[in-house]
Structure 1
Amino acid sequence: MHNNLIAAAIGVTVGVISAASIFIYRKILANQQYSTTISDLDAANKRIDELQTELEALRLQLRQQKKKRKISRKFNSNDSTFTVDNDTDVDIFSTTDIGDDEFYDCSDGESVISDSDLRISEELNQLDIILKEIDEQINNQFDVKAYYALQTLVKSHPDNVEVIWRFARASYHYAEAQTDKNVKRLFIFEGVQQCERVLENQNANLYKWYAILIGLHGDYLSVADKIKNGVVFKKYVEMALEIQPDDFELHYLLGRFKYEIANLSWIEKKIAATLFTKIPSSSIEEALECFETAARLGSTNPYTQLYISKCYIVLKEYTHANDSLKEILEKPIVTIDDEKVHTEANKLFNKYSGYN
């Protein structure tokens, strides 16, 4: 019996060992498979990280390419066209059909930018560069090419206020360069029309150049319409000043309006009385204050000093008037406006220099 128990025990032990061996073998096999799986996952995660790094590098490269893009402008004053050519440094990535919106990041919450958004953004960036260069050109010396460039941009950006007010400014400069009054009027009227389409937008420069064109247009109107025009002029200059109170040009313009109203003749005032329940009124003192404010803010317009002199003459403050006129005559003549102001100041000084 004892031998049978030993044999049975050995059998059970062998069975347990066999079962244990099989179990251990399966566990070892499972562990190996698990290790292999973990190793594969690690490799996959590593590859994902590498792809993300490559993706960021591609995006950075695309952004750098956009920054390198050179924009050349071709102005043609004969056919009134303006074109923009993109001269981009091209490499293998810029010639693929893959758009920015087809690159995906594995991180959560990443927004995907569409092709249309990118195109709009790029167009706006290009437009900003074009407008900045036109500003620099006009600030140095007006070139007719700027007018035709803006005329073309108005057609492609009809509701863009930044384009419209610059076109109004170019219309003013081009009109002022004309010797034929009828041609001059056409340029003024075109600028006025473009401004009136977008006047619901609050923009100081839009209001300012609209007012300036309205003021020029008054030269072609009857006394009655000129006075009505003057009221519109004043309205938009004051609206612009509310937005941009430190603009010396606006103070000068308001001073001109007040000066003209203060110097209306008797017959002009009678006409104004038939048009308005309350006649627009102003004084030379108010005009002088506007001109002096413009000068204090750094006005570069030579007419500012001339009208300060004129105000002093009307007020019979001849000492101040002559001092102001001397100041004009001592300045160098650089521009056509400088020459015109210098000539008029010289006449006034010769006339009033003997007054005390």
Structure 2
Amino acid sequence: MSNKSDVEQNFFAEIDELSADFSARSISAALETVEAMKLDQIPAQHRCGVLRRHAEYLYMMSNYATMKEKRVEMLENAYKKARQGHVMDPNDFECAKILCSTCGRLAEESSLKKKLDYGFKFKTYLDEAIAINDQDFELCHMRGRFCYTVASLSFVERCAAKVIGQIPDVSYQMALDDLLKADHLEEGVAENQLFIGKTYLAMGNLVKAKKWLVKTASNTTEVPVEQEYVDEAVAILEDKKLKAVKI
């Protein structure tokens, strides 16, 4: 007898094959296919899978958007699809994960009020996803990045956040622990390397900060959002304090 995973893989085999190489062209083709699907005509057990893939393809395509407005629009649509799927099946780990990813990115890309609102929602979704699997690269990276962001909040941002909810008690060390764990789970990811470097920098460890920022700057990519991480690392390395550091 086939298990749930086998049944889902068979149902989505064709669409998953479309996006297999994760290129902009293949993801766009998969997105067009899933957008043409009518959810109320899909068997109930596969509806969460459709919504999750719809969210994933929108999220991945947003990485190729060079205009911030377009990127945010695609992320907001991805967030809505992922949230709909999560409500439908709270135990679907992949759906919970893409919900965290879209919510977290929106927290970074939005204005202050929305940033804080998405930030609190993100923490809730992240806790739910980590309860399912705490050995996942993306979740470890996202929690580390979240800790870094909260630890870096300005006085004004903290005051604004307190109006919405309780600010989590986090530190740069907590951020570093999660980011290094993420690197152990999957090495060579520019986004994670950048935040390790930035965390060491915030902690005053210039030698290790430069080491990780140089790693980030050495990455090559054709994905615009990933290039932004590389460019940010290059820009930070121009700081006089870091230029004087030998590694």
TM-score (norm 2): 0.81
Cα gap change, 1:270 to 1:234, in 2 (>3 Å): same
Whether the 8 Å CA contact 1:138–1:146 is kept in 2: the answer is: no
For CA contacts below 8 A with separation 6 or more, give which structure has more relative contact order: 2
Deviation at 1:344, TM superposition (A): 2.5
User: How far apart, CA to CA, are the structure 1 residues paired with 2:149 and 2:131?
Assistant: 22
Whether the 8 Å CA contact 2:18–2:27 is kept in 1: the answer is: no
Cα gap change, 1:297 to 1:209, in 2 (>3 Å): same
User: How far apart, CA to CA, are the structure 2 residues paired with 1:264 and 1:158?
Assistant: 45
Partner of 1:296: 184
Cα gap change, 1:135 to 1:348, in 2 (>3 Å): same
Cα gap change, 1:268 to 1:161, in 2 (>3 Å): same
Partner of 2:55: 168
User: How far apart, CA to CA, are the structure 1 residues paired with 2:36 and 2:10?
Assistant: 15
User: How far apart, CA to CA, are the structure 1 residues paired with 2:213 and 2:111?
Assistant: 33
- Greater gyration radius: 1
Letter in 2 for 1:328: T
Deviation at 1:137, TM superposition (A): 3.4
Whether the 8 Å CA contact 2:197–2:208 is kept in 1: the answer is: yes
User: How far apart, CA to CA, are the structure 1 residues paired with 2:58 and 2:143?
Assistant: 21
Whether the 8 Å CA contact 2:15–2:30 is kept in 1: the answer is: no
Q: 2:138 aligns with which of 213, 236, 249?
A: 249
Letter in 2 for 1:145: A
Whether the 8 Å CA contact 1:255–1:291 is kept in 2: the answer is: yes
Instruction: Quote the RMSD (CA, aligned, Å).
Output: 2.7
Deviation at 1:289, TM superposition (A): 0.9
Unaligned runs of 5+ in 1: 1-122
Q: 1:208 aligns with which of 90, 97, 100?
A: 97
Deviation at 1:324, TM superposition (A): 2.0
Whether the 8 Å CA contact 2:107–2:118 is kept in 1: the answer is: yes
Deviation at 1:188, TM superposition (A): 2.5
User: How far apart, CA to CA, are the structure 1 residues paired with 2:38 and 2:204?
Assistant: 49
Secondary structure of the residue aligned to 1:197 is helix
Unaligned runs of 5+ in 2: 1-6
Partner of 1:128: 12
Partner of 1:342: 230
Partner of 1:229: 118
Cα gap change, 1:286 to 1:332, in 2 (>3 Å): closer
